[in-house]
Amino acid sequence: MNAIRETMERRRAGCGFLGGDVETLPALAGRDRAVRVGAGEAGPHPDLHAGPRTDPLAGHCAEGTYRIDTPFGALRATLASGRLYALVFGDGRSASSPEATARPTLVATLAAQVREWASGRRATFDLPFAERGTAFQRAVWAAVREVPPGSVTSYAALARTLGRPRSARAVGAALAANPWLLVVPCHRVVAVGGALTGYAGGLARKRALLAFEREKFPAADR
């Protein structure tokens, strides 16, 4: 059984295009417990971009960090005060624990919704998110949740949606601070012209996620 780890990790979520690697988008027709929601691997699992780890859960009652395995590698879900505080891709190491069945209800709900998404039966996630970010960041995160799986949008288009057409770079910075990968789908945002830009899970994973969603959600409005 893995030892209980009470430290909370915070990773820079690098979904924005500021200072990140760029790749041309190909044509698109705490408690460390394992919860498996899918089998197999879909592409390589690059390491996360390094980020600060000095962010205490100020104002939140920490409840632990749980591992959820997906077809695209491990997700690490941090809970605080009964809400989802962070969700990032881990390093892909395998892990298991006989205590997985003792996970909180929120982790079970998250795992079930990820499973439904992976099978093409869920387009959006219904989860209690912790209160994080500035008002502008929260507006950007809410807007990107409206982008359906199988589709992509651009930073400039999101800026226009928010009524701030000259704020594409600010939108990118807000997405770079996204604490909830996959469920707040910043991987669906690309540069004008279709270039893939920095993503905390790595560009290979971002490309794989987009291809996977296009296959699983063929009826998406593009």
Strand-pair category, 189-190 with 153-154: parallel
SS3 content of the chain, % helix, strand, coil (to 5): 30, 15, 55
Based on the residue annotation, tell me whether 61 is a catalytic residue of this protein. Answer: no
Query: Which residue in the list 182, 186, 189, 203 is annotated as catalytic?
Result: 186
Task: Tokens for 183, please give them.
Answer: 């469920």
DSSP state of 7: P
Please count the other Cβ atoms lying within 10 Å of the Cβ belonging to residue 195. 13
Q: What is the CA radius of gyration of the chain?
A: 17
Please give the Cα distance from 155 to 175 (Å, whole number): 9
Task: Tokens for 192, please give them.
Answer: 């004008």
- How long, in residues, is the chain? 222
User: Are 19 and 188 contacting, i.e. CB atoms less than 8 angstroms apart?
Assistant: no
Please give the Cα distance from 131 to 82 (Å, whole number): 11
Burial class (CB in 10 A: 0-12, 13-18, 19+), 218: exposed
Catalytic residues: 186
